[in-house]
Amino acid sequence: MEWCFSMPKVELHAHLNGSIRDSTLLELTKSLGERGVINFSQVEHIIMKYNRSVKEVFQLFDLIRIVTTDHATVTRITREVIEDFASENVVYLELRTTPKRNDAIGMTKSSYVEAVLKGLRSVTSVDVDFIPHGEEEEEHSRTFLLNTPPTGCEDTNNYCRKRIYVRLLLSIDRRETTEAAMETVKLALQMRPFGVVGIDLSGNPLLGDWNTYLPALKFAREQGLYITLHCGEIPNAKEIHQMLDFKPQRIGHAICFEDQHWEILKSSKIPVEICLTSNIRTMTVRSIDVHHFDHLYKAKHPVVLCTDDFGAFSTTLSNEYNIAANAFELGKKELFELSRNAVELIFAERRVKEDLRKYFNSVAKIWE
């Protein structure tokens, strides 16, 4: 486990609000309970439950949504999530979140994203790079990670601060209308100078219809935003087909695939974000030994290990690496290569990719 923790890692599938710390969720829920906004005893069991069906997971997300949707809390959670990932040696994080509107508190999708950016700026315990680099800033982006301290560095001076790149994806929720989805895409375009690199489609897979989001997703692609889709979380052969035909840059999960889908996936080489604990806990995969990671990995299909919602599923990225190591008999070297290969799947600009490549090269010897 220790080496899974110290290994440099790349996280490409993490939902902001699903990554809320347990302690923060409990604190916020209790405080809302005390203020009479919610009845704590009625929701306690949703928070405390360990294995949740897909339906129950989305009940938890609905609760989290009530508890977290104000500007100050969004800012706080963003800061904590970045600190948590950086502390376990994640050097590149693509964080996704659904911009929310709440008229009652004057929240617009835009002010929601501003609150996220405020969170990014408010991190003080680690160095965060989230503003994309212009061509002229060559020097900075060439050395940002190369100056990262060795793991275990105890010195308290600046040299020992962890460093992390963060880029953002804005999520379209499957409950949204075409217009709301389009608003999110337009917001993502506006927020590009602040590190928004793409669009995600997520939310309860039991709801919504592909054709509702398609116009917004097409527009996003025309405008040069990257796209990743939650695909195949439940059996829905037609939608899986439509999603693969759309050829997103990545997909998440790829669980309920039939032979025809595997064929298209493999020939189109669309990378898959794999979330082991999430799939087991939501019982969408029966057990780890039948998880499709094994088959994709052995077929040399591009895959990346991710957490999905480390708060909701009580995991960490290091833990996901550890689970993969044990379940699929992968050693340090294989997992390092898996992490290094994920660099090729990121949505950030060329300079970030180059810095990450150099950084992984510079530490590769340790993991051989």
Ligand X SMILES: CNc1ncnc2c1ncn2[C@@H]1O[C@H](COP(=O)(O)O)[C@@H](O)[C@H]1O
> 12-37 as b/e, with b when 16 or more CB fall inside 10 Å?
bbbbbbbbbbeebbbebbeebbeeee
Which stretch, 11-19, 40-48, 148-156, 160-168, contacts ligand X (CB under 6 A)? 11-19
> Sign of the CA dihedral 114, 120, 123, 127?
negative
The answer to whether 98 touches 170, Cβ cutoff 8 Å, is: yes
Whole-angstrom Cα Rg for the chain: 20
* Among 176, 233, 273, 320, the one annotated catalytic: 233
φ and ψ of 286, to 5 deg: -60, -50
SS3 content of the chain, % helix, strand, coil (to 5): 55, 15, 30
| Catalytic annotation present for 320 | no
184 binds ligand X (CB under 6 A): no
Q: How far is the CB of 15 from ligand X (least distance, A)?
A: 3
Show contacts with ligand X in window 251-290 (CB under 6 A): 278, 282
Cα-based distances in Å from 190 to 100, 136, 210: 16, 22, 25
Which listed option, ligand X, Zn ion, none, makes contact with residue 69 (CB within 5 to 8 Å by class)?
none
168 binds ligand X (CB under 6 A): no
With CB under 6 A as the rule, give the number of residues binding ligand X.
18
Q: How far is the CB of 225 from ligand X (least distance, A)?
A: 17
The one among 80, 173, 308, 320 contacting Zn ion by CB under 5 A: 308
φ and ψ of 233, to 5 deg: -75, -25
Q: How far is the CB of 107 from ligand X (least distance, A)?
A: 13
Other CB atoms within a 10 A radius of the CB of residue 158 amount to 9
Q: How far is the CB of 73 from ligand X (least distance, A)?
A: 11
3-state secondary structure of 117: helix
The answer to whether 182 touches 109, Cβ cutoff 8 Å, is: no
> Which residues partner with 92 through β-bridges?
10, 165
Q: How far is the CB of 221 from ligand X (least distance, A)?
A: 21
Which stretch, 15-23, 34-42, 155-163, 343-351, contacts ligand X (CB under 6 A)? 15-23
Which listed option, ligand X, Zn ion, none, makes contact with residue 92 (CB within 5 to 8 Å by class)?
none
Which listed option, ligand X, Zn ion, none, makes contact with residue 57 (CB within 5 to 8 Å by class)?
ligand X
173 binds Zn ion (CB under 5 A): no
Which stretch, 121-129, 152-160, 305-313, 322-330, contacts Zn ion (CB under 5 A)? 305-313
Q: Which is nearer to Zn ion, 132 or 311 (CB)?
A: 311
Q: Angle at CA 86, nearest 5°, toward 100 and 248?
A: 50
Interface residues with ligand X (CB under 6 A) are 15-18, 57, 61, 97-98, 171, 173, 202-203, 230, 233, 278, 282, 308-309
* Active site amino acids: 233
Interface residues with Zn ion (CB under 5 A) are 308
